[in-house]
Chains A and B, each alone.
Chain A
């Protein structure tokens, strides 16, 4: 319990509560349940992508192609819906996840089989995916009137008082958390990132584990692709442009170590929520939305500074006089 209170998750949680408290003291409406639901719903796409990215970063990789994956999947879903309005949403959802997973698997294969650094692979696929959107759409937009009502309505429809989009955010968070904590693959993500050398010795295939991380990240990006396009009821080449860096930012703020193998799902959730609250609070507290970028930049720098400070602290203690007795015998 004490260790939890001192953890970065607790610190971040406290920071979020403080932030909410400060906003509420001037604008109580912001913390009204309905508005909090709205904020959470708005943050869900970021949350889903950040959860996928977390798994990738845990394995010492990075996936810069998530936003492009999202945009391409979104475009395919939108065009499909425009062409075949009768296609049920369930089929589109399935297709979105499959297509996203396929693109993620492509990244994963290049990292696994050819051992190309992930930053290079995903930098490349990021531009390729965006280019493909242009090729298939001819640069044209798919607008709201071309989409069917069920297609755009699905993420916004409410179940038990929560929009479906928010339900997806919660569902993915729970699934990823269980997968990370309770499955051998989930633990392998930590093992591969924490000590790849040792992972081999315990029979874990480093490349294959990274492959699954990319596939998962891709699948979640694909899912978000449909949700995004349906929610905003528009698809074009540049949707979610630069969003990949915001996703990485959520992970970093959540305490996921870019060096791999360290960080928690709770941290990522809090990191995404922090960014979501800031973004939604700015117009409320009457600060120009143009401030958002600088604020999230500052938050990244502060977060990574605190994380490194926490991780360091330790040196070798040899002198008896300097030894705090106990701890380890």
Chain B
């Protein structure tokens, strides 16, 4: 008796218009995955060095740190805000760690300093945006100068180099065979942020806020609190990235991670998160991270310099949004 046409008096509304598999087939993530696989195959044909476990493992360092920030940034952008200060938070957190290391603190304390600095920066951004109601793009352009500016004031053209030996594990250590600590962290955070955005009430609130903050507030969602939390998370992840990057480089200069904010935003947008807020997914960002990492690595093997790869990334960023729209215009 499940046939709807048998009982016209009760209007049954089906749960879903399309099955999940049908929707998956039309999804952005699938398209992106195909692109990633295509690049992978092209790379393995283009260079004999590509299909080497250690080389591939090295390649992951191209994106793991940025991707960790991108997860938090994705949530922030879905909620309709943005944080352009993430790379500067890296600089400030790294500087704070460098100062602490120089003062003789051990690795656990350094980690704590990095995380707390990230959190404080995030709290500062979050307070300005949610308490004072300022536009986040302007606030974080300001704090972007401010945070890195403090690093410059502290360090000038100098650098911190004296990190403890065991501090190197975060950026250079391997958990098992070719699986680096950073890669494990990346996978872990991908899962955490996937669950957070797609499987919790908090994640649902983020989507609601991104689509209509007023209606979300009227529906009993504490909009300010959610956004503040997201700025905190973004700051925290920048702190985590700062620990990994500082550990990998073994030194801190004020220019550390310069320009990363735009690469992180690119990763998020490439992953299918709408820059206008309200839609997108973490799997998309994960695949986008691999795409960007593979492109950088593959072109690197072919001795194409990094700056030229940026042309490719730039074209991809515009192309991924432009092509579907061009296709639609073409057909109509």
Contact = CB atoms under 8 A, between A and B. Distances in A.
Given A124-B317, A298-B146, A130 B310 contact: yes
A252 B139 CA distance: 10
10 contacts: A114-B321, A120-B269, A123-B314, A127-B266, A249-B141, A252-B141, A258-B138, A294-B146, A297-B147, A308-B132
Nearest to A292: B149
Nearest to B325: A114
Interface in A293-312: 293-301, 304-305, 308, 312
A249 B276 CA distance: 22
B153 A291 contact: yes
B30 interface: no
Contact of A252 (B138, B308, B321): B138
B311 A120 contact: no
B175 interface: no
A308 B149 contact: no
A96 interface: no
A121 B318 contact: yes
Contact of A124 (B133, B137, B143, B318): B318
- If over half of B's interface residues share one DSSP class (helix, strand or loop), that class is named, otherwise mixed; here it is helix
A144 interface: no
Contacts of B135: 258-259, 304
A117 B152 CA distance: 33
Interface residues of A, number: 48
B325 A115 contact: yes
B35 interface: no
B132 A139 contact: no
A115 B325 CA distance: 9
For chain B, the bracket of interface size reads 35 or more
Contact of B149 (A115, A116, A295, A304): A295
Contacts of A223: none
A128 B144 CA distance: 23
Interface of A: 62, 64, 110, 114-117, 119-121, 123-128, 130-132, 134-135, 139, 237, 241-242, 245, 248-249, 252, 258-259, 288, 290-301, 304-305, 308, 312
B322 A298 contact: no
A312 B254 CA distance: 37
A114 B329 CA distance: 9
Contacts of A252: 138, 141-142
B160 to A, nearest CB: 15
A259 B156 CA distance: 35
Nearest to A107: B318
A300 B308 CA distance: 33
B265 A301 contact: no
A245 B137 CA distance: 11
Given A114-B325, A123-B317, A130-B310, A245 B141 contact: yes
B148 A120 contact: no
A312 B133 contact: yes
